[in-house]
Structure 1
Amino acid sequence: MHIPYGRQSIDDDDIKAVVETLRSDFLTTGPKVHEFEQCVAEYVGAKYAVAISNGTAALHAACYAAGIGEEDEVITTPITFAASANSIIYCGGKPVFADINPITYNIDPEDIKRKITNRTKAIIAVHYTGQPCDMEAIHAIAKEYKLIVIEDAAHALGADYQGKKVGSMSDMTTFSFHPVKHITTAEGGMIMTNNKELYNRLMLFRTHGITRDPKLLSRNEGPWYYEQLELGYNYRITDIQCALGISQMQKLDTFVAKRREIAKRYDEAFANIKNIIVPNQKEGCNNSYHLYVIQVKNVDRRYVFEELSAAGIGVNVHYIPVYTFPYYQKNGYDLVRCPHAEELYKHIISIPLYPDLSTEEQQYVIDTIIKLVNN
């Protein structure tokens, strides 16, 4: 038996949608891209959406559109995948790490304020595991200091904050459609915004900085004519992927509901187990549960991890604090300390959570974990 910590859910409708596109006239840069963008924009309540090749490309594009450049500082969390910080460096900026709230595991607005300097340009708030950050406090800080807010919502499609869907609230929000996320396009991402100027910059950046839009051209030599206005990338996504994404979006609410059911069963099963801390859910936040992360206390985390793996249970650790990686250590981050993030890292394990996880499989996971931590 092997139970992965996460996996995609693909059905016959998804396969049919992909096959139909394979038989169509467009395999890439065709009508399915815009259709997918509209589908996600309508779901989250955003005006504009830009589908892109992956979640990292989405973050890179958002930092570019935000105008991040040399000597600009962007505050983010260390408890995230490296791409959240790397995307800042891609644009010439400097990541500044604010510590987490030890209860929610999300970036702490109070530490954001402490890390602001006259070079701070933006905040990248990561909705860790699918629980939205304290966006009311973050937006207040951004307004006070005139900062751009980018939400890294790779974990949070389908989540809502104070009654609003994640993806509709900030200058830009990025999503990822990797197979272990809420929906998949195999690889893929998207940036949401309500700002037309940011949207235009994102669209240029996705396609080499090239446009055929007559309103943006400096001159027009004929119907074949295009211009490169900025230095962009080839970050396009295919119609094949977007066809899968459109089909998957029809099931998103079902997927999220299933994830919440599984998380609730974990909460109840571990509630009275003294060596396990379950994730806390902040009032006003409706987690979409990309991950279910437990803390194991008074027992060696590596022992639990290795024994779960040996028992056929897929586990992972999300995340190693980004600034502790060798790349960051040799590039000026050797003295950075985020005590709450470092303490959390010592204890966390991500356990299986995906819509097709059966009740029997979940019970096996629960029983195995309880036995290990009690021993």
Structure 2
Amino acid sequence: MKHLPAIAGGQPIRAELLPFAKPTLDAADINAVSEVLKSGILVDGPRTEEFESAFAEYTGAKYAVAVSSGSAGLHIALRASAVGHQEEVLTSPLSFPINANCILYQQGIHTFVDVDPSTYNIDISTLRQKITMRSKAIIPVHFAGQPCDLDPIYKLAEERNLVVIEDATQALGAKYKGKKIGSMDNMTVFGFDATQNLTTGEGGMVTTNSEENYKWLKIFRNLGLVRDPDLLVSPEGPWHYEMQDLGFNYRLTEIQASLGLTQLAKVDDFLKRRKEIACLYNEAFTQLHSIILPFQMPDVESSWHHYIIRLQPDLLTADRLQIYLALRAENIAVDVNYLPIFLHPYYKWLGHPDICTLEGSLCPQAEEIYKNIISLPIYPAMTEQDINDVITAVKKVITYYSK
């Protein structure tokens, strides 16, 4: 009975469910939030500016603009890039739907590019083939925290006069060829939800080295309003402000910024812990030949937002659903990240010829990968016992169902 999965009548590895993700918060975080509440300044205060400056310094960018979410960041980055009606934006289908939703907000056209079967990041050769005369921008997604191969992407963008907006919502602290993600001249978008390596509950940041982009991002974040006396069209006095473009209420609160500051001070420790857990998983699962472990390119350092195993159906007697349920029965909360965006009902219903395909597969690699992947818990708050329980459960279930 010891090696029999709980789903088949054995004893579960854990008595209580191990969460899939959990934020790492301490007294410093709580005190920082409390101090803001006591101050009475809850928005448009010094904490937000301090957080932006500290974040820019951490990533190596000249400028950083705090926003209410990573989704908001992607939206205003596209708006600052002047992406408009019927202009194409190329991106990966393996992402959360907002990656493509923000393109629709700008009345653009999303063009999904298939992914590399090893890294699960955007495939460069396919990207080149998908570019047309209407293409305006590329949004490479650093999937699960592993940076895309950026050099050929930027080279291609320069050749075809395209804007690059990096989706680094899962990649804070990750590096490409020794440089932190977010330090490039383009715009890079980060997210701070509860599962991220830095959390503000909800929130995000856009980094850039362009002063022009920086100015537009600030305008679009704050309802299109301008208060700088030097930029006003008809200044009337110290109280005066003007709406100079169509913007959005995408501001980060002082409460969130205060939490972001204390979290940012611990990001490198969080990253170190995630890498330690990933190394322990890699070492423990090496002999499980019916699964494929995460592949890492030699010139990158992942933030390990997700640790994803890929099942090999030909070597197993169970499908992904059965494996998923078996791990849950062991009280290990696993997940699946992500359903290719174009397979969501809304995107099928749009009827665009690149989306509503009647036969064949739009991005066959992405669809095949999705069918067989499972994400395991990986976050700094995990104890040694938590990690050992995940390892034991995976070995137990995969071994039982292996041919």
Fold shared, TM-score > 0.5 on shorter chain? yes
| Contact 2:51–2:261 (CA under 8 A) maintained in structure 1 | yes
Structure 2: tracts of 5 or more residues without a match: 1-15
Cα deviations by residue, 1:44-92 (Å, 9 ceiling, x for unpaired): 0001110000111111111111111001000000000111111111111
Cα deviations by residue, 1:173-213 (Å, 9 ceiling, x for unpaired): 00000011001001100100001111111100111101111
User: Structure 1 residue 100 and structure 2 residue 115: aligned?
Assistant: yes
User: Structure 1 residue 334 and structure 2 residue 356: aligned?
Assistant: yes
Match of 1:303, as an amino acid? Q
Of 227, 232, 246 in structure 2, the residue corresponding to residue 231 of structure 1 is 246
User: Structure 1 residue 110 and structure 2 residue 129: aligned?
Assistant: no
Normalised TM-score (structure 2): 0.92
Of 305, 321, 325 in structure 2, the residue corresponding to residue 306 of structure 1 is 325
Partner in structure 1 of residue 57 of structure 2:
42
Match of 2:223, as an amino acid? H
Of 212, 231, 242 in structure 1, the residue corresponding to residue 227 of structure 2 is 212
Cα deviations by residue, 1:292-336 (Å, 9 ceiling, x for unpaired): 011122331101111212222111111000001111111121216
Match of 2:235, as an amino acid? N
Partner in structure 2 of residue 358 of structure 1:
383
**Whole-Å separation in 1 of the counterparts to 2:135 and 2:31:** 48
Match of 1:305, as an amino acid? Y
Tell me how far 1:25 sits from its aligned partner. Answer: 3.6
CA RMSD across the alignment? 0.9
Of 29, 39, 42 in structure 2, the residue corresponding to residue 14 of structure 1 is 29
Deviating 4+ runs (over 2 angstroms) = none
1:223 partner SS: coil
Cα deviations by residue, 1:10-56 (Å, 9 ceiling, x for unpaired): 00011111111111141111000000001110000001110000111
Match of 2:356, as an amino acid? D
2:229 partner SS: coil
| Contact 2:63–2:208 (CA under 8 A) maintained in structure 1 | yes
Partner in structure 1 of residue 293 of structure 2:
278
| Contact 1:151–1:170 (CA under 8 A) maintained in structure 2 | no
| Contact 2:332–2:393 (CA under 8 A) maintained in structure 1 | no
Match of 1:357, as an amino acid? M
Cα deviations by residue, 1:133-186 (Å, 9 ceiling, x for unpaired): 010010010010010000000110000000100001141000000011001001
| Contact 2:193–2:201 (CA under 8 A) maintained in structure 1 | yes
Normalised TM-score (structure 1): 0.99
| Contact 1:59–1:174 (CA under 8 A) maintained in structure 2 | yes
Partner in structure 2 of residue 257 of structure 1:
272
- Range moving further from structure 2, 298-307 or 117-126: 298-307
Percent identity for Structure 1 against Structure 2: 46
Partner in structure 1 of residue 87 of structure 2:
72
What aligned pairs does 1:27-176 form with structure 2 within 5 A after superposition? 27-176=42-191
Of 181, 186, 200 in structure 1, the residue corresponding to residue 196 of structure 2 is 181
Match of 2:168, as an amino acid? A
1:215 partner SS: helix
**Whole-Å separation in 2 of the counterparts to 1:5 and 1:295:** 17
Aligned residues: 375
Tell me how far 1:276 sits from its aligned partner. Answer: 1.2
